Amino acid sequence: MSKALPERPQVQEFFAQQENIHEVKKTTCCIVGAGPAGAFLALLLARQGVPTILLEAHKDFAREFRGDTIHPSILEEMQKLGLAERLLQLPHTRAYNVQFHMGERQLTFDDFRRLKSPYPYIMKLSQVRFLNFLVEEARQYPHFQLVMGARVERLLEEEGNIRGVRYRTPEGEVEVQAALTIGADGRFSWTRRLAHMAPITLSPPLDFLWFHLPRHESDPHSEAVELHFAPGMFIILLDRGDKWQVGCAISKGTYQQVRQAGIDALQREVESCVPWFADRVEHLDSWKQVSLLSIESSRLERWHRPGLLLIGDAAHVMSPIGSVGINLAIQDAIAAANLLTRPLLDQTLSESDLAAVQRRRELRTRIAQGWVGLIQQQIVKSLNARTPFQLPPIARLLLRAPVIGTIPTRITALGGWQEHIQPRLLRPAPKL
């Protein structure tokens, strides 16, 4: 015999107990993923008085080898918020250009000094510090709430509309009911999977091995994002001040073969590509020091469903080769704040508002992915054939063209066309 349902208003509590729901929360916007896009958007919304809950699956932000480049366009927007100078006080290094090293040849792309910007460089800042900076600023506003260790397990759906999420805690499941759910949970977005939204793969995929090597006092301070090429080998090199961060590309699906060849074989490959690492590659002596990252470039045809919007890598996965993923993701967040703050405050949000965000951002994303894709295709071709890397013809043309040669720089530094925080969003609600 079935149990009789209790009279209202106990109905919701009854169902919560049956499904082991520990708590029910209500908010206006629920953001899944406290990466750069999610944290930046949460800050912008909370500043405007939009009740916002930011969910992060991990218990802290300390994860190795996350992207940690902050571009001129983002620094300019941080300046408008009055946060740039405090951010620049955190330990960081700077890259003023992108350099291609092909044997004895060296080519310079993306000379950011040519930009009319007060910040003509890429700021290389630990993402742990950057995310903590953003959420600490957001915590000063009463409409912001951050929940760490919140693993989203399902989307709440009502007649085709997404009405929030359920996430798990040690005490049970928590239900967040929200007018808008935003998936900002990265390239492996669980929100995207739960919404049954499949991305289209664009460029041939790669795998990257990430690790650190010691930095010697005699090493010159690199003011570039360095890309090193040798036959069948491609390495991204980033100066972290006290160490070098190394990203070594391998053909997709060959990780087990590389491991079977041994760590000493990887040492020799790295040395062949960056000869001046010969005096330190022995410090890479265990596979425990190496992180594997699968790389692809893809995007969704549709970034939204009623009540749900995906931004950043959740909507368009970027290759790290162009170092533009964080830039594009944060600019998605700015566009979303510009277009959605008023409908959220007025409780008039519709799917057409979400579609407007995609229309605003899609062309810029396609251009950036297209440019990086040309380079990635050549890298994959070189790796698979173990032949010297050749720049795509359009890249060689841009190197010789002084006027249109600034286009790649603008794509990298500004995301093509820069998003600006609307003036009305620069006037924040009172802090706590």
For residue range 35-82, list pLDDT tens digits in order: 999 999 999 999 999 999 999 999 988 776 566 889 899 999 999 999
Contacts of residue 399, defined as CB under 8 A and 6 or more positions apart, other chains included, come to 107, 109, 391, 405
CA dihedral over 281, 287, 288, 293, signed as positive or negative: positive
What was the pLDDT predicted at 66?
A: 60
Contacts of residue 258, defined as CB under 8 A and 6 or more positions apart, other chains included, come to 209, 250, 265, 266
Give the count of beta carbons closer than 10 Å to the beta carbon of residue 191: 25
Report d(CA 261, CA 282) in Å as an integer: 16
Could you give the strand order of the β-sheet that contains 97-102, starting from the edge strand earlier in sequence? 105-109, 97-102, 224-230, 233-239, 243-251, 200-214, 291-299, 316-317
Tokens 């409409």, located at residue: 143
Structure tokens at 258: 């590389």
**For residues 364 and 415, is the Cβ–Cβ distance under 8 A?**
yes
Structure tokens at 98: 């992108």
Rounded to two decimals, the pTM is: 0.87
Minimal CA–CA distance to 156: which of 126, 124, 181? 181
- The phi and psi torsions of 6 (rounded to 5 degrees) equal -70, 160
Report d(CA 265, CA 133) in Å as an integer: 40
Does the pLDDT at position 333 exceed 90? Answer: yes
**For residues 31 and 184, is the Cβ–Cβ distance under 8 A?**
yes
Considering the domain delimited by 11-201+296-420, tell me its CATH architecture: 3-Layer(bba) Sandwich (3.50)
Cross-strand pairs, 299: 200, 316
What was the pLDDT predicted at 103?
A: 75
Does the pLDDT at position 3 exceed 60? Answer: no
Across 175-203, average pLDDT: 93
What was the pLDDT predicted at 224?
A: 81
Minimal CA–CA distance to 80: which of 422, 350, 431, 430? 422
CA distances for 400 relative to 114, 225, 405, angstroms: 16, 21, 7
Least confident of 138-152, 238-252, 347-361: 238-252
Label residue 4 exposed, middle or buried (CB < 10 Å: 0-12, 13-18, 19+).
exposed
Q: What is the pLDDT of residues 304-324, one digit of tens each?
A: 999 999 999 999 988 777 667
Portion of the chain with pLDDT greater than 90, in percent? 54
